Structure 1
Amino acid sequence: MKPLPVFLAVAFVLSWVVALPLWLAGGLASPLARPLALLMMFTPAIGVLAAWLVSRTPPRQWARETGLTLGERKGRTGLLVLAAWLGVPLLVLAAVAISAGLGLITLDLDEMSLFREQLRATGVPVPENLAPVAVTQVVVAALAGPLLNVLPSLGEEWGWRGYLAPLLAERRGVLSGLALSGVVWGLWHAPLTLLGYNYPMLGSWAAVYFVGFCVLAGVLLGWLRLRSGSVWPAVVAHGSLNAVGPAVFLLGDVASPPDLVLAGPSGLVGWVLLAACAAVLLKKLPVRSTPAV
């Protein structure tokens, strides 16, 4: 057996196995939705381990080839980790600000009514003044999010950027390979996105729409991987995005909730920002199809 088909088969089959309880009862409204979505993030890493078993590659060599080391230039990798740590929150805030400027998000900075409604729905006591809570939550997400999310983010990134992206970049060229790995990454989310995950207003069409976001985000994450020769900058970026991305809900108006198809980091506004960042980075700081390991 060849490693790549084994990796894909294990990652995709296990993702459906993990998400199956949501399809049998409750969908995304199930109390199991969050823990199962978290568990599903580890299935690509299991796929990498399965690919390693059939490849018979020495463990240290496999770790280097899949980006678990810091690459040949550890200083560069450290700078890219820092850039991802600080840059993703700025990108998210820029997406929110632009969305608000275009009228795609109605901000409610006084009452934070959308955030207030979310807290009430979970049964959490809601303080009269939510501003300090929201600010604290955003700051903690920006500073600690990558650390808090490091294991599940590694579970995904070791598969998609550690193993798959450089392999496809070597075979098909940098841009085509990274874009194709993003398509695969997006399709892997289907057990959740077919239920409306991320874009509830689209229903099952969310599975198609989310692929577009994954392609653009995948190119940017893939650039971090190839530029550093390490998966860790992409792990930090992914963890930060998952932590800070929901910030759009802290600032919105419950009377006019944001259309996530258009607004925020995963909407069309975010797509444009991701595409612009990826274009600049690939132009100004080009990468090799094979990462330095």
Structure 2
Amino acid sequence: MSALYWTFGLSWGIYLLFHLLGGRWNPSPGEANLQTAFFLTAFGFLYMWIPGLVALLFARKEGVRIPLSLRPNRYWLLAWLFPVALTLLSIPLSLPFAPWRGFAALYEGIPPEELALLPQGLLPLILLLTGLLAGATVNLVAALGEELMWRGYLWERLRERGFWPASLEIGFYWGLWHAPLVLSGHNYPNAPLLGVPAMILFTLLLTPALLYVRERGGSVLAAALLHGTLNALAGLSLLLVARTHDLLVGVVGLPGLFLLSLFNLWLRRRV
């Protein structure tokens, strides 16, 4: 499929150029500053939107309709809250593999003068609400770049194969597309090589949920809402427990894979 060749070629080519110019997706603490954070955010947005731009181009060329209706229904609410449940449930499931750090870990790195302005004990709730807000706004726009391809154009091209076979194929391509980022430390900074198959397994298990809300929600925007909110909240699952091993803790580790497997068993009866 030509759109996939263009997506992988452009995405991986731009990442190679980024790397050759000295860019690092997971910079060391000494390299981290506001300028670096802005540059990485801009590059991440570009990387996420390459599939979307390719999808829009090929969809127009081939007459493929990608639904972008802004008519929320109850499945949009499911898309918005699903990441909350996935994140919160992954925390206790991480405890057999990592000790509890406590809510005090959330306050690390906050200057004392800013800390004094925060309502005591409400920071977990504030972070959760902030993640929900980001997931429905700026993160949704960023995630839409990916969703236009994977749950938009590609799903329309593979729809005739059926929900589950298409989910497996889309999930595999989506996970493989992340490979340069993962090898550079994204999501699994302490296990980049094992992180590539782990990411593919994660995207294989997450794709049915994204396809489900995209279909029932009647719009690719519903999938982007789930995707964007998950990007905003997943990091919380790594703040409250010690990061003993990237593959064993958090949403993208074993707890998240287990929870997504349970969801897919439930979904299997409905789709």
The 2-side partners of 1:206 and 1:124 are apart by 36
Corresponding position of 1:155: 145
The 2-side partners of 1:223 and 1:249 are apart by 27
Name which of 86, 89, 93 aligns with 2:88: 93
Q: Aligned-pair distance for 1:133?
A: 3.3
Corresponding position of 1:291: none
Q: Deviations over 1:210-234 (max 9, x none)?
A: 1000100112211222334421221
Answer yes or no: is the 8 Å Cα contact 2:103–2:124 preserved in 1: no
Q: Aligned-pair distance for 1:110?
A: 4.8
**1:38 is the counterpart of 2:31:** no
Task: Within 5 Å, give how 1:134-149 maps onto structure 2.
Answer: 134-149=124-139
**1:192 is the counterpart of 2:181:** yes
Q: What residue ranges of structure 1 are gaps of 5+ in the alignment?
A: 287-293
Corresponding position of 2:57: 50
The 2-side partners of 1:280 and 1:10 are apart by 35
The 1-side partners of 2:243 and 2:183 are apart by 22
Answer yes or no: is the 8 Å Cα contact 1:134–1:250 preserved in 2: no
Runs of 4 or more consecutive aligned structure 1 residues displaced over 6 Å after TM superposition? 123-126
Corresponding position of 2:98: 105
Q: TM-score with structure 2 length normalisation?
A: 0.85
Corresponding position of 2:12: 16
The 2-side partners of 1:242 and 1:258 are apart by 21
Q: Percent identity?
A: 30
The 2-side partners of 1:185 and 1:261 are apart by 19
Q: Deviations over 1:123-154 (max 9, x none)?
A: 89773787433431122212442223121111
Name which of 201, 209, 212 aligns with 2:190: 201
**1:247 is the counterpart of 2:242:** no
The 1-side partners of 2:216 and 2:156 are apart by 11
Answer yes or no: is the 8 Å Cα contact 1:166–1:177 preserved in 2: no
The 1-side partners of 2:213 and 2:178 are apart by 22
Answer yes or no: is the 8 Å Cα contact 1:116–1:126 preserved in 2: no
Distance 1:263 1:14, change over 3 A: same
- Number of matched residues? 258
Pairwise CA RMSD of aligned residues?
2.5
Name which of 75, 79, 97 aligns with 2:74: 79
Q: What residue ranges of structure 2 are gaps of 5+ in the alignment?
A: none
**1:262 is the counterpart of 2:248:** yes
Q: TM-score with structure 1 length normalisation?
A: 0.79
